[in-house]
Amino acid sequence: MKSRIYLDHAATTPVSPAARKAVMAALELGGNPSSVHAGGRAANALLEGARDAVARFAGVAAEHVVFTSGGTEAIALAANGARASGPVKPRLLVGATEHSAVLQARDDAKVLPVDGNGLIDLKALAAALAEGPALVAVQAANNETGVIQPLAEVAALVWETGSLLLVDAVQAAGKLPLTDADFIALSAHKMGGPPGVGALIVRDPESLMAIQRGGGQERGHRGGTPNLPGIAGFAAAVAQAHDWSPVAARRIALETRLKAGGAIIHGEAAPRLPNISSIGLPGVAASTQVMMLDLEGYMVSAGAACSSGKVKASHVLAAMGLGPAAGEAIRVSLSPATTDAEIDAFAAAWLAMAARLGRKGAA
Ligand code: PLP
């Protein structure tokens, strides 16, 4: 039987051996970090050691790290708990290509346009900020196209109006340096840690109200017994650095080969993450492409991984003005473990599919 090749690392990437070991050790340790007895103290020491590791990774002190159940919860906490000054929730401004975790975090978010490469429209942001202070959510890099946002320019606009910046760094963390923001959302399972754990990095802990209060854990910012095995695995994952330059070289080589066969690379003109490519095949539904490639043994996705398992036209590509082409792209995402042989085999399979189904082949 043909072996299967996983090219969907932006959906989730395998748990690293070090993270696995840390999860197992924490499970064996047991104990609730809130208990005052010896078992509780040992669990608390593990929790605080993990907090130190994530803080080091983010370049902040430990009290700025709030552990959550993942990227979605970290974003929801900032979107609903951020306070600029006083008790009033600030307005929320979000980029049109944000992950649904951001777009769905509040019903009253105002959506800002992006250009044809998916870069945020800075003029529209400045105009929206002129109406008064807000919480602005702009991702570090997009999960479907890998497009990297100009966060230094965004931050300057946000801060000169006394507003707050929330950066969804779920895809970028570990691949790009984290830039300054009031809130940064991280997720372990995109970095070699286990799923169901993440963190919100908070510049000023006074600017965050808890959404889930419970027993006052996480210095009152997030009630609930922490997922210590997950957190231990997360800390082990962030401690491991990877060299992403060979990954970028492989992605670029793949894109070059596929373009010769009729592929369109979305967001190509913008700076992008080393590992994500949004590959359009004109005239062929993304769902057909994903199924055909799956039959050939290649696991890729159509835009974002959707909880229903259904393939919908991408809101990211639609926001970039692609029209029907928004439903004709797949996402291929690599890891440092992806080999040249895997890329070669995938390129051959994609080109064969394009020759059979693409407009070029049909003509
Ligand atoms: N933000 C981005 C850019 C993502 O890619 C994801 C996951 O796909 C999330 C947020 C949500 O993170 P989590 O799965 O940890 O809730």
| Average pLDDT, rounded, for the chain | 95
CB distance 81 to ligand 1 below 6 Å? no
* Residue 142 clears pLDDT 50, i.e. is over it: yes
Q: How confident is the model at residue 87 (pLDDT cuts 50, 70, 90)?
A: confident
How far, in Å, CA of 181 to CA of 362, rounded? 49
CA 362 to centroid of ligand 1, rounded, Å: 37
pLDDT digits (tens, 9 = 90+) for 46-58: 999 999 999 999 9
CA 27 to centroid of ligand 1, rounded, Å: 25
CB distance 187 to ligand 1 below 6 Å? yes
| CATH topology for the 5-13+243-356 domain | Aspartate Aminotransferase, domain 1 (3.90.1150)
CB distance 72 to ligand 1 below 6 Å? yes
Residue of 15, 68, 72 with the most ligand 1 atoms within 8 Å of its CB, for mutation: 72
Catalytic-residue membership of 117: no
* Residue 341 clears pLDDT 50, i.e. is over it: yes
Q: How confident is the model at residue 307 (pLDDT cuts 50, 70, 90)?
A: low
**Is residue 66 a contact partner of residue 52, using CB atoms and an 8 Å limit?**
no
Q: Which one from 306, 348, 355, 362 is the annotated catalytic residue?
A: 306
* Residue 220 clears pLDDT 60, i.e. is over it: yes
Beta strand 264-265 pairing with 276-280: antiparallel
Delimiting residues of CATH 3.40.640.10 domain(s) in the chain = 17-238
Range 17-238 classified under CATH 3.40.640.10: yes
Q: Which of 114-128, 141-155, 291-305 has the lowest mean pLDDT?
A: 291-305
What is the number of the ligand 1 atom nearest to the C-alpha of 12? Answer: 8
Percent of the chain with pLDDT over 90: 92
CA 71 to centroid of ligand 1, rounded, Å: 5
| β partners of residue 29 | none
Q: What is the arithmetic mean of pLDDT over 270-293?
A: 97
Q: What is the arithmetic mean of pLDDT over 192-213?
A: 97
Delimiting residues of CATH 3.90.1150.10 domain(s) in the chain = 5-13+243-356
Q: What is the pLDDT of residue 349?
A: 98
Token pair in block for residue 49: 């050691």
Burial class from Cβ neighbours inside 10 Å (0-12, 13-18, 19+) for residue 232 reads buried
**Is residue 184 a contact partner of residue 248, using CB atoms and an 8 Å limit?**
no
